[in-house]
Amino acid sequence: MIITLQPGIPAQQREQVQGFVSQLGFSTTAVSTQSGEYLVAIGSREVDLRQVHQCPGVKDVHRVTDVYKLVSRTWKVKPTQVDLGDGVCIGEGSHTVIAGPCSIEGEEQVAKTVDFLVAQGVKAMRGGTFKPRSSPYSFRGLGIEGLKMFASIAHAQKVKVVTEVLDASQIDAMLPHVDVFQVGARNSQNFSLLDELGKTRKPVLLKRGLSGTLEELLQSAEYIFSKGNDRIILCERGIRTYEKAYRNTLDLNAVPYLKEKSHLPVVVDPSHGVGIRRYVPNMAMAGLMAGADGCLLEVHESPEQALSDGAQTLSFAEAEALFRQLERLHEAREQLRLA
């Protein structure tokens, strides 16, 4: 059960609602986010929602039988728009491209990429400065200094910074420079990290685990939301299967499923999802038609010289062609919707 409270409800009144619901046999969690105040009540008893609705300070009540609650579409039918600032928004009705290199490698690389993206009308840039690597001896990114550099160049042109956070201890230092915290597949169930991101007010792009179920993904999003941060973007990035013809198996079934079950926006990462450069454009377009609200693309001026993930990274020329195709295809999609 999700109880939406009146905006600015006095603490005492909220406690009275909590007390009432507890008496009915529910345990409650009070949640205060950017957009509202809620009580999430967990319990198995049947209850007449009208009783709860009548409590002073209660705005609305919904029964949610999903294992996830606040991220469910059961209580919030309207799709969520995640606002990155400066008019950059991710959510239903648009298709937002987030592009950039796998790793931030240096000032020149960042400057060129930002210029390229600005020229293309792309307003959000991805780039890793803390890199999760299977081997301890691999390049692990430029760290916080790299992030500062990345952010200063990007922000100078109002390009939004999307970058991966690996550990809760990094959040404070990263916070001033980041527009979207990205949580990678290996951290999709790092609950300490999710808890701490839930205490920030920054949007979080949450990737599905390497072999994560969609229910787990939504429950991980619930961690963030229930700690107070409702700006969450879900990301399908391919799962691990027996098929080794490509890096991962992009599971586009996930897109209509997630869009139906949750009000959160969904983006697709075809670069990791297939892992082979020349298949990325087709898969990006397939993701759009599956219903995605955006995509994450690895782009590099010289993919062959990229420090990581070169094999799945588009050159500027390839990216430019794809950006245009995605724009036109998005228009076609909107027309089909209206038809």
Query: For residues 255 and 260, what is the distance between their CA atoms, to the nearest angstrom?
Result: 9
CA distances from 273 to 201, 269, 283, 288 (A): 29, 6, 8, 14
- Find the part of the chain contacting a copy of itself (CB under 8 A) among 44-52, 108-116, 229-237, 283-291: 283-291
Minimum CB–partner distance for residue 243 and a copy of itself (Å)? 6
* Binder among 91, 100, 128, 209 for a copy of itself (CB under 8 A): 209
* Residue 187: closest CA among 216, 158, 161, 153: 216
Minimum CB–partner distance for residue 197 and a copy of itself (Å)? 12
Minimum CB–partner distance for residue 275 and a copy of itself (Å)? 9
Applying CB under 8 A, does 239 fall inside the site for a copy of itself? yes
Nearer to a copy of itself among residue 113 and residue 200 (C-beta): 200
Q: Which 15-74 positions form the footprint of a copy of itself (CB under 8 A)?
A: 27, 29, 40, 42, 67-69
Q: Which 93-132 positions form the footprint of a copy of itself (CB under 8 A)?
A: 132
Query: For residues 116 and 93, what is the distance between their CA atoms, to the nearest angstrom?
Result: 25
Nearer to a copy of itself among residue 27 and residue 34 (C-beta): 27
Q: Which 146-205 positions form the footprint of a copy of itself (CB under 8 A)?
A: 166-169, 186-187, 189-193, 195
Query: If binding means CB under 8 A, how many residues of this protein chain bind a copy of itself?
Result: 78
Query: For residues 97 and 276, what is the distance between their CA atoms, to the nearest angstrom?
Result: 19
- Find the part of the chain contacting a copy of itself (CB under 8 A) among 55-63, 98-106, 149-157, 223-231: 223-231
Tell me the two tokens of residue 181.
Answer: 């915290």
Nearer to a copy of itself among residue 100 and residue 281 (C-beta): 281
Nearer to a copy of itself among residue 133 and residue 158 (C-beta): 133
Neighbouring C-alpha atoms within 13 Å toward the C-beta of 39: 29
Minimum CB–partner distance for residue 15 and a copy of itself (Å)? 19
Query: For residues 143 and 169, what is the distance between their CA atoms, to the nearest angstrom?
Result: 13
Nearer to a copy of itself among residue 21 and residue 154 (C-beta): 21
CA distances from 161 to 141, 233, 264, 308 (A): 16, 14, 20, 19
Chain-centre distance of CA 278, in angstroms? 25
Phi, psi of 92 (to 5 degrees): -55, 140
Nearer to a copy of itself among residue 86 and residue 167 (C-beta): 167
Phi, psi of 126 (to 5 degrees): -100, 155
Minimum CB–partner distance for residue 124 and a copy of itself (Å)? 22
Length of the chain equals: 339
- Quick note: the x/- pattern for a copy of itself over 240-279, rule CB under 8 A, is xxxxxxx--xxxxxxxxx--x------------xx---xx
**Identity of the residue numbered 37:** E
Q: Are 243 and 249 contacting, i.e. CB atoms less than 8 angstroms apart?
A: yes
